[in-house]
A and B are shown apart, each in its own frame.
Chain A
Amino acid sequence: MANSSGSVRPLPSLTDQQPVTTRRKRAWWAREEVFLGYALLLPALLVLGLIVGYPAVSGIWYSFHNKMIGFANPRWVGLQHYSELIQNPAVQLSIWRTAVFAVVSVGIKLVLGLGVALLLNQNFRGRALARGVVLLPWSLPLVVGVLIWSWMYSDLFGVFNYLLIKAGLIRQPLNFLGDRDLAMPSVILVNIWRGFPFFAVNLLAGLQAIPDDLYEAGRVDGANRWQLFRHITLPGLRTVILIVSLLSFIWTANDFTSIWVLTRGGPGTATEIFPIITYKIAFIGLELGRAAAIPVMLLPFFTVLIVLLTRTITQREAES
């Protein structure tokens, strides 16, 4: 090929050739799949923001206002509700009771659930039926189950008092739900009854995920039953135990229905945990702002629990 000067320009080699752009250069955001990914997440984020974020932000906003149900123009009060509630003995006691209720209940549910899971993990006739029966408290509608317990506790007709009197253990009926000393243990027992199947089923699943080889190896090394449990079963269940305990703690601390149906927080305030006192302040006392400050006050604590739970789940996923 000759040019105007008559010299011949060599053809560019393939290696020297610049890439030929056949399409118009796209914007950065169109090239980035990340953006598209976020766009796809947007609907889910919007739904989450609407059903989780909005109520949460509203609650926090209310907690800084003197907002009464049915009355317009909430008044900004800053941290007044918080300072009042922190000094309020009734609220302090309700938080203490919540801790007692949740810790004792979760602790017993864990031990009971583990025991039942270990039993159900054995081979025996009717195992499938037993596994189904264990789930009954969990599958019964909550209010129905709790009402049955309230009848069983009754001083007038309750089966517990009937049996105790018949057995000669007591002369007068015990006032399970009306006695200050018995009311909290009584509502804890109902919560345990309701919640232990959750532990049992999850721990059973955890037990079945532990390879038999480990037990075989342990036996070959001469480990006894306790040592097998201590060094193989418990470590194998550690993550499951942590997850179900954290979840159960959050649910138990927020258990409104069973206590409301059984005692409404009574006698006096003996079983008034924080969801109950919050409900009373909000829907009976009409003080939405003051009531909102109680759960918001506890939000950091529950956030820590939730972060811990999420990390544990993520770790478990990574391990598996």
Chain B
Amino acid sequence: MQRSYLTRRAFLRLAGGLSAGAVVVACAPAVGPGAAPGAAPAMARPDLVFWAPQHFITAQNEFFTESIKLAAAANDFDVDVQLFPWGEYHQKQNAAIEAGTLPDALLGVSVSQHYAMGILTDVSDLFEEIAASGGGFFEPDIREVTIGGAQWAIPFHNEPQVMYYRTDVLAAAGYTELPTTLEKFVEIADAVTNVEQRMWGFGNPYTMVPDGNNFMQLVVFAFGGQIQDADGNVAINSPETIAAFEWYASLLNEHIMMPPGVTGWDDTGNNKAYLSGQVAMIYNSGSVVNAMRNDDPGWFQATALGPLPKGPAGRYFVFNGGSAAGIMASSRYPMEARRLLANAMSPERYPGNLAAASGMFFPTLQNYTDLPIYTEDQWNQQILDTVPYAYVAFEPGDPTPWIDEVNAKFLFAEAAGRVAVDGWSAADAVADLERQAIASKEKFEQA
């Protein structure tokens, strides 16, 4: 019998030894130049990561990415720009915060929450530098990023969300003027609603999505309600807020001026409804105007824009969406990250970014309101004209993380659904909303 030199036992022993060796090698600490943990490589070329939201308009995404990359190239370092869809961006950030995998800089910070977590760096100096080059930031934008007298983020863009009106439909019903009050708005919406013809007066998601939440909150402000008082106490539960919820529910259930599907719409439901000619009025950002520019459904010219009509509070309101950029405290290259933001908002690059956004973005800096993109375009100008009516959710108090959470959870939209869909009384829904807000506030105070 021929002798085997590699017995089963020897093979097993060899394999076991190799496996154990591999485990030991894998567990050994990395050794090499610049591998000291926690220390920036002494001579290595800085390599930054920048996160930003991905917007509808490709040209804007590309222009912004180019601005960041140009800044890196001009300052002799590398940057990886990563764009994420807005819908899951907040959750993506939270996962990264917990995992300790945040980028160096991030566009789209939740200023008060991230400040409370201690992940932002003070960028007051950069804020001043950019403000000086752009004629100063608008007041609501300053308030959004200022905590304790310092700035913790740079306001990058405003994205006012406004009312859209089909003037041809309104005119056919005998209304040649846009409504200036909520009463008139309801009257017009009732008049133009024709269910048989599949035309509704107004359409907005009655679901827990941004448009659903923002519009409800806007109505609360229009009725004189608020989220917190000047001392930072939760102040949602008030007769004004309850009246606002009752009014909004009546649009769906009493006036029947909204398509029944609004209770299941996603955030683009109102866009689609307007673009398909099934609603005469919606509430949205400039995205619908942009869609009509590229593919006019036939009523682009008949579209007019404006703020939310006046309610009992006696003033116009506009929800001022947008974004602000922050530099992470964990960044090893905070100075390089500052150069990225400075370049993106420089007089050389920022106007181009606004132009690339084609009416979706509006400036946070006062020098750029007279760009041709606004002055030569009636719709962009109409949106820009609403900027003075912008409100911040935390007024009359200071930015606070629990209000960020109330909005991130779409609690106003949830309460609206409870009243209009689940049959809760407005008083009960508002009381529950306030209870959740208080719980959120206490949670952050104890954290």
Residues of A within 8 A of B (CB): 33, 36-37, 39-40, 42-43, 46, 66, 68-71, 150, 153-157, 172-173, 175-180, 183, 263-268, 279-280, 283-288
B19 to A42, Cβ gap below 8 A? yes
Residues of B participating in the A interface, judged by any CB pair closer than 8 Å: 9, 12-13, 15-16, 19-20, 22-23, 90-91, 94-95, 97-98, 113-114, 116-119, 195, 206-209, 259-266, 269, 272-273, 276, 278, 405, 408-409, 414, 417-418, 421-422, 440, 443, 446-447
Instruction: Enumerate 29 A-B pairs (CB-CB under 8 Å) in ascending A order.
Output: A33-B12, A36-B12, A43-B19, A68-B443, A69-B94, A69-B97, A69-B98, A69-B117, A70-B94, A70-B97, A70-B98, A70-B116, A154-B261, A155-B261, A155-B264, A156-B259, A156-B261, A156-B269, A157-B272, A157-B276, A175-B260, A178-B261, A180-B422, A263-B264, A264-B207, A264-B209, A267-B264, A283-B94, A284-B405
A156 B276 Cβ-Cβ under 8 A? yes
**A71 in contact with B117 (CB, 8 Å):** yes
B residues within 8 A CB of A284? 90-91, 405, 408-409
In the complex, are the beta carbons of B422 and A42 less than 8 A apart? no
Partner of B263, one of A36, A68, A157, A179: A179
Instruction: Give CA–CA (A183, B207) in the complex, Å.
Output: 13
- The answer to whether B405 and A155 have CB atoms under 8 Å apart is no
How many contacts between A and B, using CB within 8 angstroms?
Answer: 120
Contact across chains for A156 and B19 when beta carbons are under 8 A apart: no
A155 partner, pick from B15, B117, B209, B259, beta carbons under 8 A: B259
B263 touches A178 (CB 8 A): yes
A70 to B273, CA, bound (A): 39
* Cross-chain contact of A40 among B19, B260, B418 (Cβ < 8 A): B19
CB distance from B102 to the nearest CB of A (A): 10
Q: Which residues of A contact B94 (CB under 8 A)?
A: 69-70, 283, 286
Cα–Cα, bound, A4→B278 (Å): 124
Q: In the bound complex, do residue B447 and residue A71 qualify as a contact, i.e. CB atoms below 8 Å apart?
A: yes
* Residues of B contacting A: mostly: helix
Chain A residues closer than 8 Å to B273, beta-carbon distance: 156
- Note all chain B residues with C-beta closer than 8 A to A265: 208
Known contacts: A156-B276, A284-B90. The answer to whether A40 contacts B16 by CB under 8 A is yes
A172 touches B20 (CB 8 A): no
Taking CB atoms, residues of chain A closer than 8 Å to B421 are: 180, 267-268
Known contacts A43-B23, A179-B264; 16 further A-B pairs (Cβ under 8 A): A43-B19, A43-B22, A66-B446, A69-B117, A70-B97, A156-B278, A176-B264, A177-B264, A178-B263, A180-B421, A264-B207, A264-B208, A266-B417, A283-B95, A285-B440, A287-B443
The complex places the Cα of A154 from the Cα of B259 at a distance, in Å, of 11
Chain B hits for A177, CB < 8 A: 264
Interfacial chain A residues near B113, Cβ < 8 Å: 70, 286
A287 to B405, CA, bound (A): 11
* Alpha-carbon separation in the docked complex, A266 to B114 (Å): 28
* Chain A contacts for B12, CB-based, 8 A: 33, 36-37, 40
Q: Could you tell me if A36 and B13 are in contact, using CB atoms closer than 8 angstroms?
A: yes
Q: Give the docked Cα–Cα distance between A70 and B95 (Å).
A: 9
Q: Give the residues in chain A near B22, CB-CB below 8 Å.
A: 43
Contacts of B116 in A (CB 8 A): 70-71
How far is A264 from B87 in the complex, measured between Cα atoms in Å? 11
With known contacts A178-B262, A268-B414, A172–B16 Cβ distance under 8 A: no
* Residues on the B chain within 8 Å of A33, using CB: 9, 12
Q: Say how far A54's CB is from chain B's closest CB, in angstroms.
A: 13
A139 to chain B, nearest CB (A): 24
Cβ-defined contact, B408 with A70, below 8 A: no
| Shortest Cβ distance from residue A81 to the other chain B in the assembled complex, whole angstroms | 13
The answer to whether residues A42 and B20 also contact, given A178-B207, A267-B264 and a CB cut-off of 8 A, is: yes
Min C-beta distance of B412 to chain A, whole Å: 14
Query: In the complex, which residue of chain B has the Cβ closest to the Cβ of A173?
Result: B261
Top 8 A-B pairs, shortest CB-CB distance: A178-B264, A155-B261, A70-B117, A178-B263, A177-B264, A283-B91, A71-B447, A39-B16
Which chain B residues lie closer than 8 Å to A70 at the CB level?
Answer: 94, 97-98, 113-114, 116-119
A68 nearest in chain B by CB position: B447
Q: Which residues of A contact B265 (CB under 8 A)?
A: 178
B418 touches A268 (CB 8 A): yes
Q: Smallest Cβ distance from A28 to chain B, in angstroms?
A: 15
* Cα distance, A2 to B421, chains bound together (Å): 115
B16 touches A268 (CB 8 A): no
**Which residues on A sit within 8 Å (CB–CB) of B19?**
39-40, 42-43
Question: Looking at B22, B414, B443, which has the most chain A CB atoms within 10 Å of its CB?
Answer: B443
Chain B positions within 8 Å of A178 at CB level? 206-207, 260-265
A294 to chain B, nearest CB (A): 17
For B97, the closest partner residue in chain A by CB is A70
A265 to B195, CA, bound (A): 29
The smallest C-beta distance from B256 to any residue of chain A, in angstroms, reads 11
Q: Contact check, B195 vs A42: say whether CB atoms are below 8 A apart.
A: no
**Contact: B443 with A175, CB < 8 Å?**
no
Q: Which residue of B lies closest to A183 (CB)?
A: B264
Instruction: Kindly state the separation between the CA atoms of A146 and B263 in the bound complex, as whole angstroms.
Output: 19
User: In the complex, are the beta carbons of B263 and A286 less than 8 A apart?
Assistant: no
CA distance A179 to B262 in the complex (A): 10
| A267: B residues at CB distance < 8 A | 206-207, 263-264, 417, 421
Shortest distance between the CB of A97 and any CB in chain B (Å): 15
Report chain A residues within 8 Å CB of B195: 172
Smallest beta-carbon distance B442→chain A, Å? 12
In the complex, the answer to whether A175 meets B264 with C-beta atoms within 8 Å is yes
Please, which residues of chain A bring their CB within 8 A of the CB of B95? Answer: 283
A26 smallest CB distance to B (angstroms):
11
